[in-house]
Amino acid sequence: MRKKLLYEISKPVIAAVGVENVLRAIVESIAKGTGAKGCSLLILSEDGSRLVHRISYGISGAYVGKGEIEIDATVEKVLQGEAVSIPDVADDPRVQYPEAARREGVVSVLSLPMRSSGGIMGVMRVYTAERRDFSKDEVDFLDSIAELSGLVLEKAEERERIAEEADKAREELTRVSDERERFVYLMGMVAHDLKAPLAAVQSYIKVILRGSTGPLTEKQEEWLNRSVKRIDGMLELISDIVDISRLETGHIAPELTTVSWKQVLENCIEVARGLVEPEGIVLVEEIEPDLPEIFASEVRLCQLINNLISNSVRYTPGGARIFIRAGQEEDEIVVQIEDEGSGIEPEIMPNIFDDFFKGDRESREGTGLGLSICKRIVEMHHGRIWAESPAPGKDKGTRITFTIPKGAICDLTFWEKQKEDGS
């Protein structure tokens, strides 16, 4: 019970003033309260072969540095849990440095074990300038204070260990993050270099399909059309990889400007019409007037909304509706893209914003990067994005909502902060 009570007493004190201040207060209070010359706390070395000075009051630097304190029979006795009193250091063979004690003016020494929840951590010593025989009550009281010192030191070691582990984890996270950033950058460079020759190959195939090089058989035309479609998919993947590279390395500074939400949404609706009309899908606009401006990338905001609309078109049948909503709610702009399509299965919902995740693994359409790019763009603007399926209040479809604070400023250092925080 005593140990538990002392530990509970020590926790708020340590939290309020810090370990070093608590230890300093303990040795000073013991020296002054007992009328002793000084007090010191000695802890076991890592190998357990000697005692190492931790903190003291009333003792000179010369005495502290007098030499190593070996674990002899007397010290061993204290470390086994018994207080040891030496009334006269000058005539007692148990003293390891009698001459240094004489020069320091130390006559009597009381050594007490510093207990902790994990065992005895070291020794607390009280030094007097005159001969003194400590009473049983004094020894019992000082033993409690020595135990409190041990618990405080244990807490200090625990904090140091946690801090050291956190530093190591932070260094490892930084290393991994740096390597990942370098990989993403190189991946973007490679993707960019692949795009031009693929586009050239595609243009040559289209020339052939137009009959410019002579007539084609039905089989040749079929295979060339398939090739064009596959190259389209590869070019889309390359474009997405380049986008991720630019977003994660913060290379979008030239795109930043004061952006009008009205202009962004008008541009996106124009693109959306071109996507939905050939499919026979009805586009419904619910846009509030007088939406504010932000400092951001208009290109990226348009990309975000267009990606969401394109995704909805892919899973919405002809005759159904896609809604584009935008409005202000408290301090946020809220944008919703809602469709009346097939919806998202509950088991895959947690993964839809992951890189390269495709709900239909058999489908060759899409790269699996569209929604992950959307998530990056939203987070770069300090916003949130989530999906609901079926759409609220309905038995089908999907609603994807993202919010961006009204005063958002596109943060080029977002990924650096993520790296520093370990997220």
Tell whether 408 and 287 lie within a shared domain: yes
Q: pTM (2 decimals)?
A: 0.48
CA-CA distance, 162 to 170, in Å (whole number)?
Answer: 12
Q: Is residue 377 part of a domain?
A: yes
Tell whether 26 and 157 lie within a shared domain: yes
Does residue 261 carry a pLDDT above 80?
Answer: yes
Tell whether 160 and 263 lie within a shared domain: no
**Residue 343 maps to which CATH number?**
3.30.565.10
**Residue 95 maps to which CATH number?**
3.30.450.40
With CA atoms as reference, report the closest residue to 338 among 293, 416, 286, 377.
286
CA-CA distance, 286 to 327, in Å (whole number)?
Answer: 8
Q: Give percent of the chain with pLDDT exceeding 70.
A: 80
What local confidence, expressed as pLDDT, does residue 415 receive? 42
**For 18-135, where are the alpha helices, taking DSSP H only?**
19-34, 61-64, 73-79, 98-104
Tell whether 281 and 413 lie within a shared domain: yes
Domain that residue 138 falls in? 2-165
Residue 368, sorted as left (phi over 0), alpha (psi -120 to 50) or beta, turns out to be left
Tell whether 299 and 161 lie within a shared domain: no
Q: Is residue 247 part of a domain?
A: no
For the record, the structure tokens of 186 come out as 């190189």
Q: Is residue 73 part of a domain?
A: yes
In order of 15, 27, 74, 152, 160, the CA distances from 156 in angstroms are 11, 16, 27, 6, 6
Q: How confident is the model at residue 322 (pLDDT cuts 50, 70, 90)?
A: very high
Tell whether 265 and 119 lie within a shared domain: no
CA-CA distance, 304 to 292, in Å (whole number)?
Answer: 18
Q: Is residue 99 part of a domain?
A: yes
Q: Is residue 267 part of a domain?
A: yes
* The domain boundary residue, chosen from 150, 165, 180: 165
- pLDDT, tens only, 105-135: 999 999 999 988 888 989 999 999 999 999 9
- pLDDT, tens only, 131-152: 999 999 999 989 988 988 888 8
* The domain boundary residue, chosen from 132, 165, 198: 165
Tell whether 395 and 287 lie within a shared domain: yes
Mean pLDDT along residues 151-167: 78
Task: For residue 30, count CB atoms less than 10 angstroms from its CB and return exposed for 0-12, middle for 13-18, buried for 19 or more.
Answer: buried
Q: Is residue 191 part of a domain?
A: no
Tell whether 264 and 393 lie within a shared domain: yes
CA-CA distance, 198 to 295, in Å (whole number)?
Answer: 35
Residue type, 175: R
With CA atoms as reference, report the closest residue to 134 among 216, 55, 260, 36.
36
Q: How confident is the model at residue 85 (pLDDT cuts 50, 70, 90)?
A: very high
Please indicate whether residue 397 or residue 184 has the higher confidence score (pLDDT).
397
Tell whether 159 and 259 lie within a shared domain: no
Tell whether 291 and 409 lie within a shared domain: yes
Total number of domains in the chain = 2
* The domain boundary residue, chosen from 165, 193, 227: 165
Q: Is residue 333 part of a domain?
A: yes
Mean pLDDT along residues 393-415: 77
Q: Is residue 109 part of a domain?
A: yes
Tell whether 159 and 268 lie within a shared domain: no
